[in-house]
Amino acid sequence: MVRFNLDERLINDGKALLKDLDQHGFGADAAFWFLAPDLEAWKLMISTPQTATKGPKKTYQEIQKSLTRIKAEVQSLRLDDVALLKPKTPLLKLLRVALRTGPGISGIRFTDNVINGQLIPDAYIYRIT
């Protein structure tokens, strides 16, 4: 599904997912919506060290469990809207140059910014530690 607009439902759904993951010890060190122009869609990017230790399959399973727990709150977020990042991926390293939020849940719109010569077309950042 092509989604060029990041609406309030997706923002709230992402926040609800991150809150539930935090409550269950998931350990997300970064979470943000990112407009992926090549996919013509927004992706909820989540970084956690457990992607490297447990593997992506088990990590996605934990996210699906969380989505099931919060299904009454979530209006439009699906597992295929989520992409896992390892903590040292280039995109995350780049964003860490520009900002860090701390461990809480923020709400920072980050649009049309250039970091070290790399364009970040659009992002909505909950957390980057």
pLDDT band at 1 (very low <50, low <70, confident <90, very high): very low
Cα Rg, the chain, nearest whole Å: 14
pLDDT digit string, tens, across residues 74-109: 989 999 999 999 888 999 999 999 999 999 999 999
Lookup: tokens for 7: 């609406």
**What pLDDT shows up at residue 4?**
67
Lookup: tokens for 91: 């995109």
> CA dist 127 to 2, 31, 39, 48, Å?
25, 5, 23, 12
Q: What is the pTM (predicted TM-score) of this model?
A: 0.92
Task: Give the largest Cα separation in the chain, rounded.
Answer: 42
pLDDT at 38 over 90: no
Q: Rounded to whole angstroms, how far apart are CA atoms 94 and 96?
A: 5
Q: What percent of the chain has pLDDT over 90?
A: 81
pLDDT at 2 over 60: no
